[in-house]
């Protein structure tokens, strides 16, 4: 009997042990796994700390090298880490479109190049140093697709569009944020038209994107930013699948300083002065000492013109001689018009004669026809643009019995003028002032250039000094000048 009870007891104990083991497996094993994970993560964290300590020891900066200090805790590589480092270092950091991930690390006075290696440690990405920026990409850089490339664009109504990315930096390679750029497209007649594009900022300081730009080859891209000389780069190609980045380096440029006096040597305050070249124009005003300064000028040749207001007692005066950046000895001496030489309007008056103007124009060409005269200066871009726009409308105006005539109103080499006329295929008569330019300009009431004058069929002036985009209103009789 006792033997039988013992056997039953042993069996019950065995069954209890089995049940307890099963319960332990069901309810206890996940906790064991979790504990193992925690222990493993703890070991990895300790190992990371040891690696970080080793990094801090090896990351010694060379003299003048940019140092990075930051603490990242699960920060996004693209949205947070790279922009933060880029801003601190003053450089552009461009990630490949496949780059992603979170970073946890501490940087303390770590050189820039080494800092980028640290934040990328343990990832598949690598860093490639370029002249003005850093590229972040997978290990095989040949297969990467950087987001700043001319992206594969859409096609709308048969026109292919792309995206152009521009990296703008100063001479110290510090990024510059801009808002607009101008892109110049070549015309069939050899000229170029500019169109302004609003740019979109990216997560990287100094890197800008132009969206929905038609693919093709462009004459130039130009940037005008306050505090810098104008920038212009020629021959820009935009393709749907092109792989390049455009880097535009803006410089502070140079300056030109000068003095404006009257014939008695007294400084003239408040005198408008135009500092002009083929690359840029600066309009400045003389101070109380008669001095003027034009800043942020590109390195080229300039013309200096004092342009008094119409009610001023002084004549328009051009500084004779070549002027370049850095010159501080410019002196312009203004001449008096004289009390009887105040410029008057030609409106409702017959055109003055063409005395003092060399031009091939006969009465048959203009008889019983309206005349549109353009007094211009081929050394000034606005004047050249005005003639080119008239060239595009000349047939339309001819159909309306309007004869277009242009006159070069400042001194210029005649051969140079003729070459420009032939090159741009100007079909209407173009003359030039011979002799006393000031006297001729005064007789025609010219106050600035380009200067447009419109007559009726009897050659009585009906409008003057208007912009070309107002021409249609003037032709329709809506003249307010």
Cβ count within 10 A of residue 360 = 8
pLDDT, residue 93, reads: 82
**Is 222 in contact with 181 (CB distance < 8 Å)?**
yes
CATH superfamily of 357-475: Glutaredoxin (3.40.30.10)
Q: What is the pLDDT of residues 334-368, one digit of tens each?
A: 988 764 445 678 889 999 888 889 998 888 888 89
- Domains in the chain: boundaries: 67-143, 155-250, 254-333, 357-475
Pick out the chain residues at pLDDT < 50: 1-5, 29-30, 32-34, 37-38, 40-42, 44-45, 47-61, 63, 142, 144-154, 156, 243, 339-341, 478-481
Q: Residue 139 has which token pair?
A: 């290990």
pLDDT, residue 403, reads: 93
pLDDT, residue 420, reads: 92
Q: What is the pLDDT of residues 374-431, one digit of tens each?
A: 999 888 777 888 999 999 999 999 999 999 999 998 888 899 999 999 999 999 999 9
pLDDT, residue 260, reads: 94
Adjacent-strand bridge partners of 182: 196, 222
Cβ count within 10 A of residue 94 = 25
Q: Render 199-246 in DSSP notation, one character per residue.
A: -EE-SSTTEEEEEEEEPEEEEEEEE--TTS--EEEEEEEE-SS----E
Q: What CATH number is given for 155-250 in this structure?
A: 2.60.40.1120
pLDDT, residue 8, reads: 62
- To the question of domain 254-333 being in CATH 2.60.40.1120, the answer is yes
Q: Annotate 441-472 with b (16+ C-beta within 10 A) or e (fewer).
A: bbbbbbebbbbbbbbeeeeebbbbbbeeebbe
pLDDT, residue 258, reads: 93
Q: What is the pLDDT of residues 263-273, one digit of tens each?
A: 888 999 999 99
The top-level CATH class assigned to 67-143 is alpha beta
- Establish whether domains 67-143 and 254-333 are of one fold: no
Looking up tokens 């009870």 gives 5
């Amino acid at each position: 009997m006792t033997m039988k009870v013992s056997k039953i007891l042993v069996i019950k104990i065995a069954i209890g042990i089995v049940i307890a083991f099963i319960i332990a497996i069901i309810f206890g094993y996940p906790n064991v796994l979790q504990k193992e994970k925690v222990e493993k993560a703890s070991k990895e964290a300790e190992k990371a700390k040891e690696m970080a300590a080793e990094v801090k020891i090896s990351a010694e900066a060379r003299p003048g090298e940019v140092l990075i200090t930051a603490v990242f805790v699960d920060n996004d590589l693209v949205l947070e880490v790279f922009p933060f480092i880029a801003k601190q270092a003053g450089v552009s950091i461009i990630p490949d479109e496949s780059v992603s991930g979170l970073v946890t690390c501490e940087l303390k006075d770590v050189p820039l190049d080494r800092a980028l290696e640290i934040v990328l440690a343990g990832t598949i990405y690598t860093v490639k140093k370029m002249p003005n920026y850093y590229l972040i990409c997978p290990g095989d850089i040949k297969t990467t697709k950087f987001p700043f490339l001319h992206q594969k664009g859409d096609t709308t109504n048969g026109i292919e569009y792309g995206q152009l990315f521009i990296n703008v930096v100063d001479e110290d390679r510090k990024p510059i944020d801009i808002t607009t750029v101008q892109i110049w497209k070549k015309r069939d007649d050899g000229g170029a038209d500019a169109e302004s594009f609003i740019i979109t900022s990216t997560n990287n300081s100094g890197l800008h994107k132009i969206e929905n730009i038609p693919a093709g080859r462009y004459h130039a891209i130009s940037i005008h930013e306050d505090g810098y000389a104008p920038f212009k780069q020629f021959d820009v190609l935009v393709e749907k699948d092109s792989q390049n980045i455009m880097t535009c380096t803006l410089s502070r440029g140079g300056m030109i300083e000068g003095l404006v006096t009257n014939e008695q040597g007294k400084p003239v305050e408040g005198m408008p002065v135009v500092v002009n070249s083929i690359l840029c124009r600066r309009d400045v005003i003389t101070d109380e000492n008669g001095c003027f300064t034009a800043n942020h000028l590109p390195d080229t040749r300039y013309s200096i013109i004092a342009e008094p207001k119409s009610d001023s007692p002084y004549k328009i005066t051009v500084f004779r001689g070549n002027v370049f950046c850095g010159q501080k000895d410019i002196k312009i001496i203004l001449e008096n018009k004289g009390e009887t030489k105040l410029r008057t309007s030609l409106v409702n008056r017959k055109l003055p004669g063409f005395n003092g103007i060399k031009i091939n124009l006969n009465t048959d060409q203009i008889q019983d026809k309206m005349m549109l005269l353009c007094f211009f200066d081929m050394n000034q871009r606005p004047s050249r643009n005005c003639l080119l726009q008239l060239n595009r409308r000349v047939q339309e105006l001819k159909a309306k019995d309007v004869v277009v005539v242009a006159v070069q109103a400042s001194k210029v080499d005649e051969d140079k003028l003729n070459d420009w006329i032939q090159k741009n295929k100007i079909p209407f008569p173009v003359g030039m002032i011979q002799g006393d330019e000031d006297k001729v300009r005064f007789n025609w009431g010219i106050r600035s250039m380009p200067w447009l004058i419109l007559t009726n069929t009897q050659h009585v002036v009906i409008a003057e000094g208007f912009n070309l985009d107002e021409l249609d209103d003037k032709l329709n009789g809506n003249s307010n000048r």
